[in-house]
Amino acid sequence: MLINKLPFLKKKSSEEIRTLKPDNIPEHVAIIMDGNGRWAKKRGLPRFAGHKEGMDNVKKVVKTANKHGLKVLTLYAFSTENWKRPKPEVDYLMKLPMDFLSTYLPELIEENVQIQTIGEFDLLPDHTKKAIQEAKDKTVKNNGLILNIALNYGSRYELVQSIKKTVTDIQNGKYSVEEIDENVISDNLYTSHLKDPDLLIRTSGEIRLSNFLLWQSAYTEFWFTDALWPDFSEALFEQALLDYQNRKRRFGGI
Ligand code: IPE
Ligand code: IPE
Ligand code: MG
């Protein structure tokens, strides 16, 4: 390995490499949970089975996020484009929050997790809204990890809504065109109350954003893995956190 041939470069001990520094944990991690369908296909199972397995993996990932003291974990669960899928699959995906919460809500409450969502909530089916609203209400006082589910979320739609809101505010005399700045746009996004993601992870080998957090990820660190979402393990999550700690974030500076 090249590093061994350069004696002036001190090789880090494996312990140094493996240990996460508690003072540099990303506050906000966003994950594009992709590959459920392919996970199922590889096993000769219907796509639903992959979604079910993927749902169970969320619990493990929340545990790891909690263990390392993350403040916000945003999970991309359903995009505004996912309505294009066959109706039985969409119906199944819209049932998953209910299944997830009926299994895990007590544990999430115990772990001091607060449930939030981003996306067009009102356009979700009633049963989906009901389950999630109940979880939000029951965790509203929790002050641990924010588990932020992106459901019926699309970044372009979000930006269009933000622009409409801004125009309406101007028409209502709240501020002038000259006063529009980045904060005005950010304040009208679903994520207005959240810090931009420090780290964005996508599983399944796809290297794209698929309409996720376009504005918010201007200076986010990206991390990709070929692992399919149901196979995304604690060890991989920790690898992503470690790699994050080795990045130099310059934000345009030097
Ligand atoms: C991610 O897995 C879950 C959702 C998008 C809802 P996919 O269902 O996209 O799985 P692949 O990409 O087809 O394998
Ligand atoms: C992105 O995955 C959306 C979610 C994970 C919820 P997709 O599977 O929908 O993305 P594309 O279609 O491959 O870009
Ligand atoms: Mg996919």
pLDDT tens-place string over residues 147-159: 999 999 999 999 9
Conformation bin of residue 252: beta by default, left when phi > 0, alpha when psi is -120 to 50:
left
- Residue from 34, 152, 188, 198 carrying the catalytic annotation: 34
Check residue 205 and give left, alpha or beta (phi > 0: left; psi -120 to 50: alpha): left
- For the entire predicted model, the pTM comes to 0.94
- On the 0-12 / 13-18 / 19+ scale of CB atoms within 10 A, 147 is buried
The CB of 82 under 6 Å from ligand 2? The reply is yes
Q: Is 221 a pocket residue for ligand 2 (Cβ < 6 Å)?
A: no
Residue nearest to atom 3 of ligand 1 (CA): 34
Active-site residue 188, yes or no? no
Residue that has been written with the tokens 């780290």 in this structure: 199
Residues 109-138 have pLDDT tens digits of 999 999 999 999 999 999 999 999 999 999
Phi, psi for residue 115 in degrees, rounded to 5: -90, 130
Q: Round to whole Å and give the CA distance between 209 and 224.
A: 11
Active site residue 143: no
Residue nearest to atom 8 of ligand 2 (CA): 34
Handedness of CA 154, 145, 33, 56 (dihedral sign): negative
Q: Which of 30, 253, 49, 47 is nearest to 146 (CA)?
A: 30
The structural domains of the chain, with segments of one domain joined by +, span: 28-184+202-245
How far is ligand 3, taken at its centre, from the CA of residue 119, in Å? 18
Which residue is closest in CA terms to ligand 2's atom 12? 210
| Per-residue pLDDT of the chain in tens (254 residues, 90 and over written 9) | 455 555 555 555 455 557 999 999 999 999 999 999 999 999 999 999 999 999 999 999 999 999 999 999 999 999 999 999 999 999 999 999 999 999 999 999 999 999 999 999 999 999 999 999 999 999 999 999 999 999 999 999 999 999 999 999 999 999 999 999 999 999 999 999 999 999 999 999 999 999 999 999 999 999 999 999 999 999 999 999 999 999 999 999 99
Q: Which of 66, 82, 142, 211 is catalytic?
A: 82
Contact 53, 36 (CB under 8 A): yes
CATH topology of domain 28-184+202-245: Undecaprenyl pyrophosphate synthetase (3.40.1180)
